Chains A and B, each alone.
Chain A
Amino acid sequence: MKLEEKVIAIIQSNTEEKESITIGSDLRKGLRLDSFGTLMVINALEDTFEIELEEADFARVNTVGDVVSLLRDKYACV
Chain B
Amino acid sequence: MSFRCCATNTLVFEVGMQPGQFYESLAIDKSPLDALRFNPYYLPLDGLRQGRPRVRGETYFDLASNDYLGLASDKRIHEAMTEAIREYGASMCGTPIATGYAPILAELERQLARFTGLEAAVVFPSCYQANVALFGCIATRQDVIFVDHYAHASLGQGIRAAGCKVKPFLHNDLQHLQRQLEAAAGFRQIFVVTESVFSTEGSIAPLGEIVELCGRYNAIPVVDDSHGIGVLGKSGRGILEEKAIANYPGIYTASLGKALGNAGGVIAGNNLLVDALRYACPGLIYSTALPPSCAAGALCALEIIRNEFARLGPTMWDNHRCLLDSLRRRGLDLRSGPAPIAAIHGGSAENTLVLAREFFNHRILATPFVPPSVPDGKGTLRLIIGAKLDDSGMKELMRALDGLSLPGFTPQHPVSPTDGGAPAGKLPEPDALSGAPRTTRRGGTARATYLFIANPSARDGRARKKLDQLRLELGHRRVKFDLALCEGLEHARTLSEEANRSGCDVVVGVGGDGTINRVLNGFFDANGQRLSSARMGAIHVGTSPDFCRSYGVPLDVPAAVEALLAGVTRQIRVGKVVWETSPERPHGSASRTAFFGCCANIGLGASLARLANGGIRKYAGDFVGTFACLLRVLLQYRPQTMTLEMDGRPQKLDKLYNIAVGKTHYIASGIKVRHELQEQDDRLYVMCLRDLSWSRLGHVLWTLYRGKPIASGRCLSMAYAKHIRLDAASARPEVEFDGDPAGWCPCRIETAPDSLDLIVGQPS
Q: Do A and B come from one complex?
A: yes
Which A residues fall within an 8 A CB radius of B?
Answer: 13-16, 28-29, 32-37, 39-40, 43, 47, 56, 59-60
Q: Which of B127-135, B371-379, B391-399, B677-685 contacts A (4 or more CB under 8 A)?
A: B371-379
The stretch among B162-170, B529-537, B596-604 that forms the contact with chain A is: B162-170
Are A43 and B167 in contact, CB atoms less than 8 angstroms apart?
A: yes
On whether the beta carbons of A36 and B147 are closer than 8 Å, the reply is yes
Q: Say how far A48's CB is from chain B's closest CB, in angstroms.
A: 11
Instruction: Report B-chain residues with C-beta under 8 Å of the C-beta of A14.
Output: 170, 176
B169 A32 Cβ-Cβ under 8 A: no
Picked from B11, B168, B376, B378, the residue with its CB within 8 Å of the CB of A40 is: B168
Chain B contact residues: over half helix, strand or loop, or mixed? Answer: loop
Docked pose: A28 CA to B377 CA in angstroms: 10
B169: chain A residues at CB < 8 Å are 40
Q: Which of B145-197 contact A (CB under 8 A)?
A: 147, 149, 151, 156, 166-171, 176, 183
Residue in B149, B166, B167, B377 whose beta carbon sits within 8 Å of that of A37 in the complex: B149
* B-chain residues with CB within 8 Å of residue A13 when the two chains form the complex: 176
Sort A-B residue pairs by CB-CB distance and give the 5 closest, nearest first: A32-B375, A36-B168, A40-B168, A34-B375, A36-B149
Spell out B's residues near A (CB within 8 Å).
Answer: 11, 147, 149, 151, 156, 166-171, 176, 183, 372, 375-378
Question: A14 to chain B: closest CB distance in Å?
Answer: 7
9 A-B pairs with CB atoms under 8 Å apart are: A14-B176, A15-B170, A16-B149, A29-B377, A32-B376, A34-B372, A36-B151, A40-B169, A47-B183
Shortest CB distance B195–A (Å): 13
A22 to B188, alpha carbons, bound, how many Å? 39
Q: Which residue of A lies closest to B376 (CB)?
A: A32
Query: In whole Å, how far is B269's beta carbon from the nearest beta carbon of chain A?
Result: 24
- Within the assembled complex, what's the spacing in Å between the Cα atoms of A68 and B372? 26
Complex Cα–Cα for A35 and B147 (A): 13
A36-B156, A40-B168 known, 7 other contacts, Cβ within 8 Å = A13-B176, A16-B171, A37-B149, A37-B168, A39-B167, A56-B11, A59-B11
A78 to B701 Cα, complex, angstroms = 67
Q: Which residues of B contact A43 (CB under 8 A)?
A: 167-168
Q: A16-B171, A37-B168, A40-B169 are in contact. Are A32 and B156 (CB under 8 A)?
A: no
- Give the complex CA separation of A18 and B666 in angstroms: 41
- Chain B contacts for A16, CB-based, 8 A: 149, 170-171
The closest CB in chain A to the CB of B160 belongs to A35
Provide the residues of chain B in CB contact with A56, threshold 8 Å.
11
Nearest chain A residue, comparing its CB with the CB of B150: A36
For A41, the closest partner residue in chain B by CB is B168
In the complex, residue of chain A having the shortest beta-carbon distance to the beta carbon of B374: A34
The complex places the Cα of A32 from the Cα of B376 at a distance, in Å, of 6
Distance in angstroms from A22 CB to nearest chain B CB is: 18
B88 to chain A, nearest CB (A): 41
B156 neighbours in A (Cβ, 8 Å): 35-36
Min CB gap B159→A, angstroms: 10
